[in-house]
C-alpha cells in the first residue's frame, strides 16, 4: 500500500473495511433471511469494486533494467584515408547514436573491414558471423535483447566484455552497423527506427567511396578517450 497514492489507499481501506464488516454481519446474524443474503452479496460486490478501483488507480511503473558497467577505454577509432565528408558523417552519426540512444559502443563494417569503432572499445577486432549474415540476407535489423541468452553470442566478442544487448543493422549488402547497449532490452522501437534511418543515409555515402581496397591505407587514427564518447547512457 505504500506505493499507492493517498486517495487510492483510502479507497482500498474502505473496500477492505466494508468486506470485513459484511462478513461480521453475516456471521453474527441470528438467522439468514433472503433479504440479508441479497444485501450481503451487494455489499461484498461494492467492497470488492472499491478495492479494484484502488488497484487500477495506481500506475505500474516498471523499473528500468540495471545498467552494466562495461570495462574498456572510451574512444574513437577511424580508418585512415576516408574522404572528409564521409569522416564527418561517421563522426556526427556515431556521436548522435551514443548520446541519443542507449548505445554504449558501436562498430561500422564495410566491405569486410572495420572502418569505425566508437564508445567503449573492446581489445579484440570485430568479425561478423552468422547473425550478421542473417541480418544482411533479410535486410532487417536483428535485436538481441539479452545477449547471454542467445546461442552464437561469441560472435560479438569484438564488443566490450559483458555487453548485455546488441543490435545489428545491415548497411545494404556491403556492411553492418553493430551497437552494444548499456542494459538488457534497452533499444526501443524509436531507437531502431533512428538507427535504420542513419544506416540508409550512411549506405549512400559509403557506396560512393572506393572502400578499403582502394587508395586507403590499413591504419587507423585514434582520438583520446576524453570527450570522444559519453560516459553515461542516454536517458
For residue range 29-55, what is the model confidence (pLDDT) as tens digits? 888 788 888 888 888 888 888 888 877
Which pLDDT score, from 0 to 100, does residue 210 have? 58
Residues of the chain with pLDDT under 70: 1-4, 58-65, 210-235
> With contact defined as beta carbons under 8 Å apart, do 68 and 146 qualify?
no
202, 183 Cβ separation under 8 angstroms: no
Question: What is the reported pLDDT for 47?
Answer: 86
pTM of the model: 0.66
What is the predicted pLDDT for the residue at 216? 42
- pLDDT of the residue at 53: 82
211 closest CA partner among 170, 171, 168, 174: 174
pLDDT of residue 25: 83
In our burial notation (b when 16+ CB lie closer than 10 A, e otherwise), range 174-198 reads: ebbbbbbbbbbebbeeebbebbbeb
Q: Note the pLDDT of residue 114.
A: 94
- What does the pLDDT read at residue 101? 92
The predicted pLDDT at position 222 comes to 45
Return the pLDDT at 26: 80
Cell of 99: 548520446
Q: In a 3-state reduction of DSSP, which class is residue 218?
A: coil
How far is CA 25 from each of CA 16, 17, 30, 95, rounded to the nearest angstrom?
14, 12, 10, 69
- What pLDDT is recorded for position 1? 52
For residue 229, the model assigns a pLDDT of: 46
Amino acid at each position: 500500500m505504500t506505493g499507492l497514492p493517498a486517495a487510492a489507499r483510502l479507497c482500498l481501506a474502505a473496500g477492505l473495511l466494508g468486506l470485513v464488516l459484511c462478513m461480521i454481519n453475516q456471521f453474527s446474524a441470528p438467522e439468514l433471511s433472503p433479504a440479508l443474503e441479497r444485501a450481503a452479496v451487494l455489499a461484498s460486490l461494492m467492497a470488492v469494486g472499491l478495492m479494484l478501483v484502488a488497484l487500477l488507480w495506481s500506475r505500474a511503473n516498471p523499473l528500468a533494467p540495471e545498467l552494466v558497467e562495461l570495462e574498456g577505454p572510451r574512444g574513437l577509432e577511424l580508418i585512415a584515408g576516408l574522404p572528409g565528408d564521409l569522416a564527418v558523417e561517421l563522426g556526427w552519426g556515431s556521436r548522435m547514436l551514443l548520446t541519443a540512444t542507449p548505445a554504449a559502443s558501436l562498430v561500422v563494417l564495410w566491405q569486410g573491414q572495420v572502418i569505425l569503432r566508437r564508445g567503449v572499445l573492446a581489445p579484440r577486432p570485430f568479425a561478423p558471423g552468422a547473425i550478421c549474415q542473417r541480418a544482411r540476407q533479410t535486410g532487417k535489423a536483428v535485436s538481441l535483447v539479452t545477449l547471454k541468452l542467445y546461442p552464437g553470442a561469441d560472435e560479438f566478442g569484438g564488443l566490450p566484455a559483458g555487453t548485455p544487448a546488441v543490435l545489428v543493422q545491415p548497411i545494404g549488402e556491403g556492411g553492418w552497423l553493430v551497437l552494444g547497449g548499456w542494459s538488457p532490452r534497452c533499444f526501443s522501437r524509436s531507437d531502431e527506427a533512428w538507427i535504420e534511418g542513419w544506416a540508409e543515409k550512411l549506405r549512400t555515402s559509403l557506396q560512393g567511396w572506393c572502400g578499403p581496397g582502394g587508395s586507403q591505407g590499413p591504419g587507423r587514427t585514434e582520438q583520446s578517450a576524453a570527450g570522444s564518447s559519453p560516459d553515461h547512457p542516454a536517458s
